Amino acid sequence: MERGRKVRLLYGFCSFFLLVLGLIGLVLPLVPSSPFLIPALLCLHRAFPRATRKLLSFKPVRRLIPRKLLDRLN
């Protein structure tokens, strides 16, 4: 397996792990969700840019993401 593919898989795994922690933070009041969801989005963008563009095309999702981060991802 080449190095680029391994890095993409690592970013994909990290984004999934951080997304799960962020979703737990949405349910449990003691665990914050934003510090996990924003890095999850960045890792997802590094691993699968097309998936990130598709995710950001939904207005409800765009409202939750800070403007500076949206500018960086576009």
Check residues 20 and 74 and name the one with the higher pLDDT. 20
Q: Which residues of 30-59 are buried (b: 16+ CB within 10 A; e: fewer)?
A: eeebeebbbbbbbbbbbbbeeebeebbeee
**What would the mean pLDDT of 6-15 be, rounded to a whole number?**
93
Please check the confidence at residue 30 and state whether its pLDDT lies above 80: yes
Kindly indicate the confidence band of residue 53, based on its pLDDT and cuts at 50, 70 and 90: confident
pLDDT > 70? residue 1:
no
Which pTM does this prediction carry?
0.77
CA-CA distance, 7 to 65, in Å (whole number)?
25
